[in-house]
Amino acid sequence: MKLKSLIQTLLISLFLASSTGSFAQRSADILPFIPFNNESYENFPLITIKVIAHVVQRNPTYPENFKNNEQDQKTIRDLIEHCNRTYSKLTNPSIKIATNPKSIVDSRIRFRLDDIIFHVDSSGWDRNKFRIVNGGKWPYAIDSISKENKELFFFNLNAYRGFNLSDSLVVSTSNGPVILHKKDLQKWGKTTVVTVKEPIDELEPINATYFRRVDYNCTSDNWKKLTDSDDRHLHLFFTGASSKRIQFGCAPSPYFLNVSNYIFGGQWAGNQLTAHEIGHTLGLGHTNYPQFEDLPRKDKFCSGCPCNDKTISNNIMGYNGCRNYLSPLQIGSVYKNYSTKEKRIRMTTACDYDPTQTSFISNNQKWDRERTIQGDIVVKRKHSLAINQNLYLAKGASIYLEKKAHLIINNCVVSNACGSEWNGAVLCRKFKQKRIKPPRFNKGTIEFLAEGRFEKVIE
């Protein structure tokens, strides 16, 4: 055990030493995107990700999943609301480290459930499937048999590795294939011996292979088949599994996650699991290997265990019984992802124009980080706005310049990230939503510096 612990310590030390530089650079890039508690919601508005829930039932009679009724639909809606509460009511870290910035209560990340769709699909429901192994050296020839002892002999040890993975064998005989069930598996020198439960007196076995369990929990098959690879929503799949009834999940993509056997594991556990898996879709990794420098260097994974101040953190991305904390750099990295990456922005409500989200610039401002704006921008009379990083506006949004207002686009692009166009700049006397009058004199001005420009503007 001491040697094992020493090796683990050395590996972690090497990991940290090699990643110190990347930690520092990553932190510097993320810091402008951290919505600290004292930041205004106008400067750091909510980022709301659009979600579609998919319930994949095994069959109409025995769905082994949520049913298409009001009670189960309410459970799904409550689950999304639980995720919203989790990400908006964060606590302090259980493990405090010297570099921890002040904790953040609200990550400003939200989830909007747009639809619940039910599918009857036995293949899509089953995340643990069993396949006959047929390829390479499989099936292996049966070199000898003992009908009296129900034993099959293979004069190699490679067969042992395969049969050790399955309780069943597929045996070819002179009368066709049969399935036998393993009772015992042993190594006799360089020989693999399989004892089966069924009598084999009447069989003439030729060769044998095994069933391999294939875990489809992390695959994209349902996303491709049931959504046509839709990348404008986060798709939450509720599925099942034929081999086990424990809850488990996987989120290998920004566009989908899978939660299996939700109904068999209890609502609290399922809600905790889903909030954790959604974190993966947001770009967050597990905390046993710290992704950012404001996370503990060690976080023991202990499913459902109480948190403490030394070994088990309360981070949402750990394995613990608390899951109510995210570090500032974790939150900032998510906020940055959904403010700067067009593929991520398209999944949010930032693509939906909302005039109630209009930003009024009533003092001279400089915007030095990328951002998305869901409403209009109004630069008030005699004030200026310098945009120094890329800005993404929704379809239907405009930038209004009142008299003597000044807009500077400095070496960046003002565009639309949603596959559409925005309305461009409008010069006006005074901004009034329902009646815009062009100015006769003292018009507002626009200055493009370096590579600054407008893109995807309606002509």
Where along the chain do its domains lie? 2-126+218-337, 129-214, 353-454
Pairing of strands 151-154, 128-132: unpaired
Under CATH, to which class is 129-214 assigned? Answer: mainly beta
Q: What is the pLDDT of residue 22?
A: 63
Question: Cα(193)–Cα(154) distance, rounded to whole angstroms?
Answer: 6
Rounded Cα gap, residues 444 and 402, in angstroms: 6
pLDDT score at 212: 87
Strands 256-260 and 234-239: parallel
Rounded CA-CA distance 395/351 in Å is 7
Instruction: Name the CATH superfamily for 2-126+218-337.
Output: Collagenase (Catalytic Domain) (3.40.390.10)
> What pLDDT, on a 0 to 100 scale, did the predictor assign at position 381?
96
Question: SS3 string of 275-332?
Answer: HHHHHHHCCCCCCCCCCCCCCCCCCCCCCCCCCCCCCCCCECCCCCCCCCECCHHHHH
Q: Using an 8 Å Cβ cutoff, are 406 and 398 in contact? A: no
The pLDDT of residue 274 is 97
State the pLDDT at residue 4.
41
For residue 316, is it left (φ>0), alpha (ψ between -120 and 50) or beta?
alpha
- Output the pTM of the full model: 0.84
Tally Cβ neighbours within 10 Å of residue 113.
Answer: 18
The residues of the chain scoring below 50 in pLDDT are 1-20
The whole-number pLDDT of residue 15 equals 39
